[in-house]
Structure 1
Amino acid sequence: MEKDRFSLLLLEPAEIYFEDFSAFLFPLDVNKHDFEKKKQIGRLKMCSKSIVFDPKDMEKPLIKIPLKECMKISQWDGELATKITPKNNVVAVDCKQYVEMLAGNVLAPYSFVAEKHSFLFLLNYAHVADCLPQICQLHRAATLPAAEQNSMIAAIVYSRQNRVSFDTLWLEDLYEKVILETQGSKITPLVVNPGRILLTSSRLYFQPYNNVESYPVLKIRLPDIKRIVQRRFLLRQVGLEIYCESNSQVTHLYLSLKSEAERDALYQGLLDQPSVHLENTEQEMMTLQWQNGVLSNYDYLLYLNSMADRTFSDLTQYPVFPWVIQDYSSLKLNLDDSKSYRDLSKPIGALNEVRLARLKERCEEMSPPKFLYGSHYSAPGFVLFYLVRKYPHYMLCLQNGRFDHPDRMFNSVPDVWKNVMTNMSDFKEVIPAFYDTEGVGDFLVNTYGINFGYRHDGTKNGDVQLPPWATGPQDFVKKLRDALESDHVSNMLHHWIDLIFGYKQTGSEAKKADNLFYYLCYEGAVDLDSIHDLNQRHALEVQIMEFGQIPKQIFTLPHPQRRTGIPALMPTGGDGSAASSEMDERSTLQERVHSVSCFPVWHSFSTLKNIAPFQTHKEAVTAVAVAGNKQFVVSVGQDSLLKMYSISEKRQVRSVTLSSMALSSCIIMPDDKSLIIGSWDNNIILYNMEFGREMDSVRGHEDAVSCLAWGNKNQILVSGSWDCSVRVWQGMAEGRRIKPSSSLIAQFDHDAHISCLSVTR
């Protein structure tokens, strides 16, 4: 275990941790002579539903006392009270049950001690009068029914948090302009940690109210932000997920705000900042990239999950992936045999015709609202069923300090597949980890050596049993990934997308596809804000959270099929006719995907032979040039990158970031060694390919440089801009520094943005 053992995962899901106090724990029967020997020093942590004592001695267990199990919390009035501490600074907690966690610093099921016990805590620095009223107030809330308890805790939390404002001493730059300050929570699996959110002109800050995080204030530079997604969190549109550059200090942050209006205000505030430049992830473009092989099946499914409000930060809406293989018994997996694959046109519950018939019979006998499946394909319990070996602390949090019965755990891949094919209440799909080759199958291995118990046949639960065709976890995941990216799955995946994210998700099409789940699974099935009865609302929330949720519907029409084995572009026939309607279709497609960040290198335009597909940029390619006696392909893109590809070596030889904004154009100089590049940051850049460095940069226009052209005869450079002007420059051919005062020889003003340039002799 880690040195700092306490975490929010030791509390109930979404329980709030307020603050802690330095304290000594000592037994009730202590006397003044053995007090020093029997006391334990540690931290007493005050939480919304429990008190936790975290001893400094790592071998001793953490003690959690649920407030609902407490009979009395008071200032101690024992005989030795004033002798031990003159100010009688001791809190006495009498309880019916307490929990011991992480005894011996070993991750294991918690020990529940069901006996009356008294705990005495001597506060070292804080005074009883300062903390006891707060603890007693929380204790009173714990005696209420669950819904009323949550309401009272929310009021306590609101009152405490309103007395705190963001500490501006944490600002990186004193000249930052504050745009917005609000309350919100940082969301991680099973944990909601509230704090203050501050947006300035250069950074986004999150300051937690407590000291449980590894940082006092989390800071994100606005230029590092690449994606911002509005999310549904706990059935309400209050979530905001922020993705940053992989090399930034913070790569990911999921926030939940008080209301949809506050969430939208923060979202718009971020978008309004000039330094925020988001990646282009428009749905149509991503689908086109996937159709044409630019995006893998794995990455496209991750994208669709994100668009459908599925995130790794929320177990109630975790990304869902399909079972694609149905052969878990052969000694060798044959990916060329269609019989090895599951039918992706049917939901998991409809694959077994016999079981489906029984489910339909049961459905017909129901009173409305009717459903086929009484269990879901994705829920928090199912996610942790697969991930218990990798994240055992999540399972202990979700299941109140216990692991599942050894026979019900994820023990064998073949057994799980058999169960989802035959069991009348098991219809779960899988999670991305099954296809994540970077994870190398670590979720299948009992890395922590945890004692999960013994199965009914006496075998000890250890690593997950794999099918015979897998030599180990890494090989298992690699073969599943190969299957996911196979032509067979590529040709069928759109059917599964229709079921999970598309038009077969709801309504009559769902009924035709045997894809009906309990009505509370569907987005918008119930308006929780309109339910004023606290107990009824709480019951609905718990039911929905535990059962699972349908992803947000993102397609209302049949999803297009992926193109596999696309032929190369063909020239017109000898009679001048076009090469059939496929040419027309592909021409239209080319127009639609003009900014796709991958292009082929052609050998000869007379035969149009594609010699090397060149995966270049993360975003749209804006310009391409051929340099070095036709030995290198140079490209620039909206990802701010200049890339160079060697035709002879068939590999990328250079990748350089030249700007904080998109690059719009590039021109090869007559010396065949230099490039002139236009940028959206208003600059014209001179780059030397031979030495691989930027030689010069000059502010060429008052707005983005949109296009460049070169006049060979006159040796002039012409630049166009969004500032509605065209400028003519000279002296570039010698590779000299660009000096506007001497190089600028003419300017032509237009009434609109310049989009294209050409120079004639």
Structure 2
Amino acid sequence: DQFTSLNEEGDDDEEEDDGDEEEDEATSAMGSALAGETKLESQLFNTEADLVRPHGVLSGRVYLSETKLRFIATGTNEALLEGDWSEAVARDSALTWSLASIRQMHRRRYLMAQTALELYDEEGDALLLNFVDKRKRSRVRSWLKKKCHLEYRDRDRHRPAFQKCLNELQEAWHRRELSNFDYLTRLNELAGRSQNDLNQYPIFPWVLCDYESEQLDLSDPRSFRDLSRPMGAQAETQRQLVAQLYSDFVDEEIPKFHYGSHYSTMGFVLYYLMRLEPFTSYHKGLQSGRFDHADRLFHSFKSTYHSCTHSSSDVKELIPELFYLPDALLNRNQLPLGERQDGQRLDDVVLPPWADGAVDFIAKHRAALESDYVSAHLHEWIDLIFGYKQRGPAAVAALNVFFHLTYEGNVNLSQLKDQAEIRSLKAQINNFGQTPPQLMMQPHPQRRPRAPPTAPAAPLGAASSAPIGNFRVEHVPVAMLPLDDSVLLFDSSRKLVSHKSGVWT
């Protein structure tokens, strides 16, 4: 595990835990007062909390005892999406988790406030609980630290332990002990992105720009997107446009920005995943109970990439599933997705010519993510999303400034009294994107190059063979075996390929 060990001496938690000892004394006193109860386990602490699900927020109370965490609903469900969620609400109205089953604990941001806690049990099930304030969350978290057998809990990013964790993670990536996919997954986790919160879903980059060729050449830099620029600045014409928009914008209350939209929203997540349940139901709930117009649904990679690189209002990045889940591209449920204006009926996602089906696309897409080109440039994208180019002069120079309410620290609902203003800001937060917390203030170091493979010695007088990296990908190589005079490759289509003297057979 690349994260800091929980058994490490000198637990380094955030300031919200200050005062926990005093609160724990009060908690212990409550436990002593209830110690005479034998039929039911004593409740040591309870507090108001909301259970957050993609479809809605259920208000209730959290009850903690020596061995259990219980959530009991006390109010109605505040639906975030239209639809009949009565069965889901009924299941969530009374939940009990054994503290011994809880394996992970993460502090989360909810509605731009650091008041939520996400828990994972040994089966991988999750609870996202939002508390009245940061101190209530701290009290619950302090109890869980003592009573749960945690394999991981997050660290405050303003403390040395977090920086140590981040440095260890970077070094593991540099040594290639972590793949690009795994490294991005960990960075998203550290930034509080969660697949249980559609408004703060993990963010992955577009890595390719070639969605037209018959064959995908991963040795050609022209196959790849420019990872040093945001999606809205890939094309020169767009760079000029967004720079001019930033320069011309003048408002006494609203800071300048390049993009009024964002690269990650609930709508974009559901755009990519709408062919799969429960995301189909979530998508329809977001669209008043029906599918959006066919021309606005996920139709093809080529058209979506073009839209994201030629419009300042559509600059979305990708999600992790598009690197491992072929079913996201298939209409297996035969959903009536409608007909586009050009007469095409929507069904499966239209793939590039170089992809022989959804499985082949995902395999090649993942190979592109792990390619040498992306490995050499991924740090530039990380600077944009999680790093020093996220804010300030570096963000302005990189054409990477978004609407100010998407950034942490610019919204504080607890200080507002006007209910109409509160509702308006909640709608902004829930529908128009949330920029991740800034993890790094300095440029991210580039990944060290891959060590060259040891080539077998060629017989005297033999013709030199072409480098392994310079071939056009038909299927993803999964294993390589050097022999005396050739190299055998076994690929994802279960084809055995022999490379000898520059010839593929």
Equivalence for 1:308: 191
Equivalence for 2:105: 228
Q: CA offset at residue 192 of structure 1? A: 1.4
Equivalence for 1:370: 256
Whole-Å Cα distance in 1 between the matches of residues 201 and 311 of structure 2? 23
Paired AA for residue 200 in structure 1: S
The answer to whether structure 1 residue 384 and structure 2 residue 270 are counterparts is yes
Q: Relative to 1, partners in 2 of residues 1:528 and 1:458: Cα closer, same or farther, differing over 3 Å?
A: same
Q: CA offset at residue 379 of structure 1? A: 1.1
Query: Aligned runs of 1:513-662 on 2, under 5 Å?
Result: 513-566=398-451
Equivalence for 2:5: none
The answer to whether structure 1 residue 348 and structure 2 residue 348 are counterparts is no
Judge conservation of contact 1:501–1:553 (CA < 8 Å) in 2: yes
Q: Relative to 1, partners in 2 of residues 1:183 and 1:303: Cα closer, same or farther, differing over 3 Å?
A: same
Q: CA offset at residue 177 of structure 1? A: 5.1
The answer to whether structure 1 residue 402 and structure 2 residue 290 are counterparts is yes
Q: Relative to 1, partners in 2 of residues 1:474 and 1:208: Cα closer, same or farther, differing over 3 Å?
A: farther
Equivalence for 2:136: 262
Paired AA for residue 271 in structure 1: K
Q: CA offset at residue 563 of structure 1? A: 2.6
Equivalence for 1:412: 300
- Structure 2 residue aligned with 1:424, among 312, 326, 347? 312
Q: CA offset at residue 354 of structure 1? A: 1.1
Paired AA for residue 265 in structure 2: A
Whole-Å Cα distance in 1 between the matches of residues 256 and 152 of structure 2? 43
Whole-Å Cα distance in 2 between the matches of residues 422 and 326 of structure 1? 13
Q: Which one is further off, 353-362 or 321-330? A: 353-362
Paired AA for residue 269 in structure 2: V
Paired AA for residue 300 in structure 2: S
Q: CA offset at residue 271 of structure 1? A: 0.9
Equivalence for 2:217: 334
Could you tell me the percent identity over the aligned residues? 41
Judge conservation of contact 2:71–2:96 (CA < 8 Å) in 1: yes
Judge conservation of contact 2:126–2:196 (CA < 8 Å) in 1: no
Judge conservation of contact 1:503–1:509 (CA < 8 Å) in 2: yes
RMSD: 2.2
Whole-Å Cα distance in 2 between the matches of residues 243 and 314 of structure 1? 14
Paired AA for residue 470 in structure 1: A
Judge conservation of contact 1:180–1:269 (CA < 8 Å) in 2: no
Judge conservation of contact 2:379–2:446 (CA < 8 Å) in 1: yes
Q: CA offset at residue 385 of structure 1? A: 1.1
Gaps of 5+ in 1: 1-172, 569-761
Question: Which secondary structure state, in structure 2, belongs to the residue aligned with residue 377 of structure 1?
Answer: coil
Judge conservation of contact 1:190–1:314 (CA < 8 Å) in 2: no
Judge conservation of contact 2:275–2:330 (CA < 8 Å) in 1: yes
Q: CA offset at residue 566 of structure 1? A: 4.6
The answer to whether structure 1 residue 279 and structure 2 residue 167 are counterparts is no
Equivalence for 1:447: 332
Judge conservation of contact 2:113–2:412 (CA < 8 Å) in 1: no
Aligned length: 389
Q: Relative to 1, partners in 2 of residues 1:296 and 1:538: Cα closer, same or farther, differing over 3 Å?
A: same
Question: Which secondary structure state, in structure 2, belongs to the residue aligned with residue 339 of structure 1?
Answer: helix
Whole-Å Cα distance in 2 between the matches of residues 316 and 307 of structure 1? 16
Q: Relative to 1, partners in 2 of residues 1:175 and 1:560: Cα closer, same or farther, differing over 3 Å?
A: farther
Q: Relative to 1, partners in 2 of residues 1:290 and 1:204: Cα closer, same or farther, differing over 3 Å?
A: farther
1:173-213, Cα deviation, whole Å (9 max, x unpaired): 96755332223222221321233322222232233458734
Q: Relative to 1, partners in 2 of residues 1:201 and 1:538: Cα closer, same or farther, differing over 3 Å?
A: same
Whole-Å Cα distance in 2 between the matches of residues 532 and 332 of structure 1? 59
Question: Which secondary structure state, in structure 1, belongs to the residue aligned with residue 388 of structure 2?
Answer: coil
Whole-Å Cα distance in 2 between the matches of residues 277 and 409 of structure 1? 41
Q: CA offset at residue 341 of structure 1? A: 1.1
Paired AA for residue 425 in structure 2: L
Paired AA for residue 353 in structure 2: P
Q: Which has the higher contact order (CA 8 A, sep 6+)?
A: 2
Paired AA for residue 141 in structure 2: Y
Judge conservation of contact 1:444–1:464 (CA < 8 Å) in 2: yes
Query: Aligned runs of 1:44-443 on 2, under 5 Å?
Result: 176=41, 178-209=43-74, 212-214=89-91, 217-245=94-122, 248=123, 251-273=125-147, 275-279=148-152, 282-368=165-251, 369-390=255-276, 391-436=279-324, 439=325, 441-443=326-328
Q: CA offset at residue 567 of structure 1? A: 8.0
Paired AA for residue 49 in structure 2: G
Q: Relative to 1, partners in 2 of residues 1:452 and 1:302: Cα closer, same or farther, differing over 3 Å?
A: same
Q: Relative to 1, partners in 2 of residues 1:216 and 1:514: Cα closer, same or farther, differing over 3 Å?
A: closer
Equivalence for 1:475: 360
Whole-Å Cα distance in 1 between the matches of residues 90 and 357 of structure 2? 36
Whole-Å Cα distance in 1 between the matches of residues 106 and 68 of structure 2? 18
Q: CA offset at residue 413 of structure 1? A: 0.9
Whole-Å Cα distance in 2 between the matches of residues 280 and 517 of structure 1? 31
Structure having the higher strand fraction is 1
1:609-656, Cα deviation, whole Å (9 max, x unpaired): xxxxxxxxxxxxxxxxxxxxxxxxxxxxxxxxxxxxxxxxxxxxxxxx
Paired AA for residue 417 in structure 1: Y
Q: Once superposed, which parts of structure 1, at least 4 consecutive aligned residues long, lie more than 6 Å away?
A: none
Q: Relative to 1, partners in 2 of residues 1:179 and 1:336: Cα closer, same or farther, differing over 3 Å?
A: farther
Whole-Å Cα distance in 1 between the matches of residues 387 and 238 of structure 2? 25
Paired AA for residue 227 in structure 1: Q
Judge conservation of contact 1:190–1:398 (CA < 8 Å) in 2: no
Q: CA offset at residue 216 of structure 1? A: 6.7
Whole-Å Cα distance in 2 between the matches of residues 400 and 280 of structure 1? 38
Gaps of 5+ in 2: 1-37, 77-86, 155-164, 454-505
- Structure 2 residue aligned with 1:512, among 383, 397, 415? 397
1:457-504, Cα deviation, whole Å (9 max, x unpaired): 222111111111111111111111111112211111111111101111
Whole-Å Cα distance in 2 between the matches of residues 238 and 334 of structure 1? 47
Whole-Å Cα distance in 2 between the matches of residues 241 and 348 of structure 1? 31
1:157-187, Cα deviation, whole Å (9 max, x unpaired): xxxxxxxxxxxxxxxx967553322232222
1:7-45, Cα deviation, whole Å (9 max, x unpaired): xxxxxxxxxxxxxxxxxxxxxxxxxxxxxxxxxxxxxxx
Q: Relative to 1, partners in 2 of residues 1:176 and 1:485: Cα closer, same or farther, differing over 3 Å?
A: farther
Q: Which one is further off, 527-536 or 405-414? A: 527-536
Equivalence for 2:459: none
Paired AA for residue 518 in structure 1: F
Paired AA for residue 461 in structure 1: L
Question: Which secondary structure state, in structure 2, belongs to the residue aligned with residue 241 of structure 1?
Answer: strand
Question: Which secondary structure state, in structure 2, belongs to the residue aligned with residue 204 of structure 1?
Answer: strand
Q: Relative to 1, partners in 2 of residues 1:445 and 1:266: Cα closer, same or farther, differing over 3 Å?
A: same
Question: Which secondary structure state, in structure 2, belongs to the residue aligned with residue 504 of structure 1?
Answer: helix
Question: Which secondary structure state, in structure 2, belongs to the residue aligned with residue 523 of structure 1?
Answer: coil
